[in-house]
């Protein structure tokens, strides 16, 4: 497979944002005010004994736009683009190095942890599971990677401030540098992760391509070597030899788009692993919206060759309501592909939902739908885009949703504790609600769709000529 011929590293300019630990402002999915992450961290450590995370030591995460993060659940990113430093250069960037120092030494210092890990800290403080916990747990059965992690932690403890060695083994590689192509325009997504969302923002007049780029650069602290709406793998200047060297020593390969199967390099990765005989010893962790790829049987045939497949279905609701938030998805095709992947002999199915103002009242339907496949869905916090977070849910609809959800049987209630707790703890932001309504109206008119066909309880908030003519 030809990914990219090796070229000299690019030179990009830094954007001065000051101390990155002070730049990041924690945003709570529930509170209007800035949460006290330091106090929350104290409580988590008191309860659990520590707040160690394996990810900055032995995991690699590089998103579509090429600026690596310590993990996928933080806004903190390194300030040098992968086209400048390569994949292996990521390990010694200060955003990872400072975090490792704090983790390895029991948080005698904690500034980097508070600035980087605030999402997991708040969620664990509220009593729920997080990616930190999941990744640590996922490593427990992989003895060689656990041994390597112990070696790397001890190295950091024994060699403060020293250059970090490139790991001999990597537990999980999530390298998303193949671009942001996606066939959906999901309400909760961003231009960085979906070309479809970027195209819609431009069509609505909310951003120009240059404004989207400026937004990304200000957030990341670095100029970018591409333009929107489409990010291409060629923009990220990947060294093919270095990439395959990384994949060969990775235990679990995480594939996530854009839309995963519509990005040909992800299919090429599966093909290469099968052809080289690596697949039998590797795990795949794949995310997909299960819509729009015409050769899902071919993906099935490749995946069955791997040691294990964790197949995560990216969804917002169970049934046709999913089509509205994940426009223009079509449920019959989504469901057909879910059933196909659930029949893999080596699969562990998963169903991933964000928690947002439209779907939180129907999480019981997600639980009942997932029961067909013997699984319990995962519910993830949504902090961006801010206009579609839970704080925009008006009190009357929140109460209606609580009443509806509490009518479920105890076995369902047990599986929706997190959504119920979030609804009970929610602080309403009226301004955000009005912004959300305005943005949904604009999208409905552009798409020719109508929120009230799916969520009629929102009728009091959508009373204009457009909705009057469609209801």
How far apart (Å, rounded) are the C-alpha atoms in residues 405 and 421? 12
What does the pLDDT read at residue 27?
Answer: 82
Residue 284 CA to residue 445 CA, distance in Å, equals 39
Report pLDDT for 17: 53
- Express as a percent the part of the chain with pLDDT over 70: 94
* Class at the top of the CATH hierarchy for domain 259-470: alpha beta
Q: Which residues contact 190 (CB under 8 A, 6 or more apart)?
A: 197, 384, 385
Q: What is the pLDDT, as a whole number, of residue 5?
A: 47
Mean pLDDT calculated for residue range 319-346: 98
Residue with tokens 């929610």: 426
pLDDT in tens, 264-294: 999 999 999 999 999 999 999 999 999 999 9
C-beta of residue 48 within 8 angstroms of C-beta of residue 121: no
pLDDT at residue 22, as a whole number: 52
- CB-based burial label for 391 (10 Å; 0-12, 13-18, 19+): buried
CA–CA gap between residue 183 and residue 394 (Å, rounded)? 31
- Cα 424 to Cα 432: distance, rounded to the nearest angstrom: 18
pLDDT at 41 over 90: yes
Rounded Cα–Cα distance for residues 155 and 161 (Å): 10
Q: Note the pTM of the prediction, 2 decimals.
A: 0.93
Q: What are the boundaries of each domain within the chain?
A: 30-61+68-169, 259-470
**What confidence category does residue 29 fall into, taking pLDDT thresholds of 50, 70 and 90?**
confident
Q: What is the pLDDT of residues 78-135, one digit of tens each?
A: 999 999 999 999 999 999 999 999 999 999 999 999 999 999 999 999 999 999 999 9
C-alpha of 278 from chain center: 26
User: What per-residue confidence (pLDDT) applies to 230?
Assistant: 94
Nearest to 110 by CA among 79, 118, 73: 118
Residue 346 token pair: 């080596």
Residues with Cβ within 8 Å of 99's Cβ and at least 6 positions away in sequence, in order, are 56, 70, 112, 113, 116, 117
Q: Taking the CB of residue 211, how many other CB atoms lie within 10 A of it? A: 14
Q: Among 6-10, 103-107, 210-214, which stretch is predicted with the lowest mean pLDDT? A: 6-10
Q: What is the pLDDT of residue 469?
A: 66
């Amino acid at each position: 497979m030809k990914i990219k011929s090796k070229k000299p590293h690019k030179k990009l300019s830094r954007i001065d944002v000051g101390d990155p630990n002070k730049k990041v402002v924690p945003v709570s999915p529930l509170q209007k005010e800035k949460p006290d992450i330091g106090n929350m961290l104290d409580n988590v450590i008191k309860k659990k004994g520590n707040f160690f995370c394996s990810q900055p030591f032995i995991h690699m995460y590089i998103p579509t736009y090429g600026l690596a993060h310590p993990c996928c659940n933080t806004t903190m990113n390194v300030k040098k683009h992968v086209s400048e430093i390569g994949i292996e250069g990521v390990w010694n960037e200060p955003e990872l190095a400072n975090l490792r120092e704090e983790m390895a030494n029991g948080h005698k210092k904690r500034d980097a942890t508070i600035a980087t890990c605030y999402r997991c800290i708040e969620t664990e403080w509220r009593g729920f599971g997080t990616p930190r916990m999941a990744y640590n747990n996922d490593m427990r059965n992989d003895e060689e990677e656990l041994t390597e992690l112990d070696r790397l932690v001890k190295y950091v403890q024994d060699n403060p401030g020293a250059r970090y060695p490139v790991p001999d083994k990597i537990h999980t590689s999530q390298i998303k540098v193949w671009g942001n192509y996606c066939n959906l325009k999901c309400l909760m997504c961003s231009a960085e992760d979906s070309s479809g969302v970027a195209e819609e923002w431009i069509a609505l007049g909310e951003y120009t391509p240059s404004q989207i780029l400026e937004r990304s650069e200000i957030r990341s602290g670095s100029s970018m070597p591409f333009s929107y709406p489409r990010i291409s793998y060629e923009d990220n200047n990947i060294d093919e030899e270095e990439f395959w060297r990384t994949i060969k020593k990775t235990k679990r390969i995480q594939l996530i788009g854009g839309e995963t199967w519509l990005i040909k390099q992800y299919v090429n990765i599966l093909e290469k692993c099968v052809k080289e005989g690596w697949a039998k010893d590797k795990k795949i962790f794949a995310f997909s919206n299960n819509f729009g790829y015409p050769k899902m049987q071919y993906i099935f045939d490749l995946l069955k060759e791997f040691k294990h497949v964790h197949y995560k279905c990216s969804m917002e609701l169970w049934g046709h309501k999913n089509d509205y938030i994940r426009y223009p998805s079509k449920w019959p095709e989504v469901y057909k592909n879910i059933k196909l992947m659930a029949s893999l002999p080596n699969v562990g199915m998963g169903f991933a939902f964000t928690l947002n103002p439209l779907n939180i009242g129907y999480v019981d339907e997600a639980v009942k739908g997932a029961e067909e496949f013997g699984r319990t869905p995962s519910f993830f916090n949504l902090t961006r885009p801010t206009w579609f977070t839970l704080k925009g849910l008006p009190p009357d609809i929140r109460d209606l949703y609580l009443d509806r959800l509490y009518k479920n049987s105890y076995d369902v209630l047990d599986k929706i504790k997190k959504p119920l707790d979030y609804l009970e703890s929610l602080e309403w932001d009226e301004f955000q609600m009005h912004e959300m309504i305005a943005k949904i109206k604009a999208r409905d008119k552009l798409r020719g769709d109508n929120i009230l066909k799916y969520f009629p309880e929102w009728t009091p908030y959508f009373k204009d000529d457009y909705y009057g003519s469609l209801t």
